[in-house]
Amino acid sequence: MRIITKLFPLLLMAVAVAGCTSTSSYREPIATFASAADKAATAFQSLDDDATGQLNGILFQQAAKDKLIQKSGCTADSDGCTFTLVGANDGVPVYVPDLMPKTAALLNGIRDYAEALDTLEKADATRDVQAATSKAVGSAAVVAGAVNAIAGTALTSVAEPVGAVVGYGYGLYQDNRKHAAIVRAVTIMDGVIQGGRAEMATKLKLIQTAKLDDLEKAVSTAHTAFLAEKTPDALTRAINAAKAMDAVIKAGLPDLYDKLAEAHAKLKDAVTHPDADPAAVLNALSAFLAQAQRIKDIADKLSTTEKRSD
């Protein structure tokens, strides 16, 4: 008994140290992923708003040119109310509320999941751990629902009840159990995220092309205006239009989701294999963070320029 009394503090210390090691090794990767996912979601929302405005602008011009629109719905017992075009584009809405709501939901879901994961990693009470785990797995379900081409196995995992994932008791082994919850959430989400790569690459490429069409028109306008006017102001406008287009071409928007998926795969490595190469993990996360930041900066700048020119 005396021996046990002497050894008990040492045992406590050993458990505490083991616990610290198991979580602190991926604290930074999780925080970095959460920060990058937030920037990526914000940037996409801005680009989606922009693309919605572009399409609505084209539809508006078409309606104004045709001088004919018709009501669609717009009675007390109808499902909604809008206007549509008439003639060659019969039935086409005059405006759309959101061009890509599912993709926005997907990236917002990944952001919410990453936030929950970060909260989970920092939680020090059973209740917080359970709530954060539930939120992380719930976000995975939202994301899975927003990806059309989702991997079947990932959907099956998401469908499992949260109760099966966590069974926490607050105590000496909490860190180990917390680690198990993180592994579970990250593994589930990784299947979902990797399953959406091809679809997201196509969508982001389309969004980028639509934006570049807009900027190409601006460059063309500024170029021909300078050839006609030959003033310093016209030259400045031409240069600024070229700079804006150059930034979007070089931003690498179509690769954003690939970077996110690569970063998440490395995050999964970090939490499932404690001996994973920390440099490789941080490199992938840094690449995603840098690209998300770059695209967010460009989206912010374009948004500010458009508001100024309105």
Partner 1 sequence: MGPEFNAILADAKPRMAQLKAMSADIDAQIHAIIAAATPGVGLSDDDNAKVQQLGQKQRDILTTHQKLTLISAAALDDSATLQNLTAALTGAVAVLKSEIAAIAAVSAHCAEIGAVCTGLDDIIAKLTALIGPKTA
Residue 2 or 230: the one with the smaller Cβ distance to partner 1 is: 230
Least spacing, CB of residue 263 vs partner 1, in Å:
23
Least spacing, CB of residue 217 vs partner 1, in Å:
5
| Alpha helices in 171-272, H assignment, sequence order | 174-195, 197-229, 232-251, 256-272
Q: Can you give the binding site for partner 1, defined by CB under 8 A?
A: 51, 54-55, 58, 84, 88-93, 96-103, 148-149, 198-199, 202-203, 206-207, 209-210, 213-214, 216-217, 220-221, 223-224, 227-228, 230
Residue 212 or 282: the one with the smaller Cβ distance to partner 1 is: 212
CA distance readout (Å), 159 to 35, 84, 144, 199, 283: 27, 40, 10, 22, 32
Tokens of 48: 């989606």
Residue 118 or 214: the one with the smaller Cβ distance to partner 1 is: 214
Least spacing, CB of residue 191 vs partner 1, in Å:
17
Residue 97 or 169: the one with the smaller Cβ distance to partner 1 is: 97
Least spacing, CB of residue 118 vs partner 1, in Å:
28
Residue 58 or 159: the one with the smaller Cβ distance to partner 1 is: 58
Tokens of 77: 């017992």
CA distance 188 to 91: 41
User: Residue 175 in contact with residue 22, Cβ under 8 Å?
Assistant: yes
User: Residue 169 in contact with residue 126, Cβ under 8 Å?
Assistant: yes
Tokens of 240: 């600024």
Least spacing, CB of residue 268 vs partner 1, in Å:
24
Least spacing, CB of residue 83 vs partner 1, in Å:
12
User: Residue 50 in contact with residue 211, Cβ under 8 Å?
Assistant: yes
CA distance 155 to 137: 11
Residue 150 or 165: the one with the smaller Cβ distance to partner 1 is: 150
Residue 24 or 148: the one with the smaller Cβ distance to partner 1 is: 148
Own/partner long-range contacts of 282-286 (Cβ < 8 Å, ≥24 apart): 282/28, 282/29, 282/32, 284/259, 285/29, 285/32, 285/33, 285/36, 286/32
- For the stretch 235-249, what's the b/e string if a residue is b when 16 or more beta carbons lie within 10 angstroms of its beta carbon? eebbeebeebbebbe
Least spacing, CB of residue 171 vs partner 1, in Å:
46
